[in-house]
Amino acid sequence: MPIDSLERLVPEQLEANEMTGALTLQLHLERYEFAATQARPGRLLDIACGVGYGTEILYNGNGQNTEAIGVDCSDESVRYAKERYAQPGVRFLCTDALNFHDDLGFDTIVSLETIEHVPDPHGLIAHLLQFLRPGGIFIGSVPTTPTVDANPHHLHDFTPRSYRKMLSEQHLTEITHLKQIQPFNPLTVLARKEKRLSDLRSNLGHYYLTHPQALLQRCWATLRYGFVNHYLTSVWRKPRA
């Protein structure tokens, strides 16, 4: 997956006419800024950090952070992050989230727009929570309207209820949350007029023929919400004992 895409935005490479990219970046920045206000002082992990701008926001947003580590599976993204956003206290590693290990533990773990990409979301959360210290904060976000039909990089759809159920099953307690809404023009999406829309699923009609449940979910979401995407970022605390 190229770093110059909707999945891995590079703020410095956005063009003036890229409305979808600009709106998506704005949502990403808002999530990271919200997460920075909720993070605990100490060590911080940013899983699937992309090109690193969010890791910088998380670190600088709390003057009591001792270290922030950004992790991404893309060599290209991590190289860019090291060149552009690394600083004393901020470093980046290239590894898959499920292969990441740490011996010291973290006070805050952030995983924004990651969980929908992996085959086993429950397994990923359980793996990350091994490194979260007692009383630590986990901050995650997912789309809560259908995306799997249009985005071939997404493997799971979530609702607010199913997402919260998954986290609560890990014995976490929700503290607060941020809801976001992103309008979209279906004609622009279908026409792929912006270069960042080129990696959306091709031949959507055939996909719906072979996945009728996905079509029903899309129709239901459109009738209920209109042409918008919904996102939920939630903050969870791990038990102290």
Whole-angstrom CA distances from 28 to 119, 128, 230 are 23, 21, 13
Residue 6: predicted pLDDT: 58
pTM of the model: 0.92
Architecture of domain 11-237: 3-Layer(aba) Sandwich (3.40)
Residue 199: predicted pLDDT: 76
| Contact indicator for 9, 25 with CB cutoff of 8 Å | yes
Helices 121-129 & 160-168, crossing angle to 10 degrees? Answer: 40
The candidate with the shortest Cα–Cα distance to 79, out of 155, 150, 172, 10, is 10
Find the mean pLDDT for residues 198-220.
91
Residue 51: CB atoms within 10 A of its CB come to 28
Read out DSSP for 174-225? EEEEEEEEEE--HHHHHHT-SGGGTTSPS-HHHHHHH-HHHHHHHHHHHHHH
pLDDT class for 225, splitting at 50, 70, 90?
very high
Phi, psi of 116 (to 5 degrees): -70, -10
- The residue type of 209 is L
| Residue extents of the structural domains in the chain | 11-237
pLDDT class for 186, splitting at 50, 70, 90?
confident
Whole-angstrom CA distances from 104 to 46, 97, 112 are 15, 17, 22
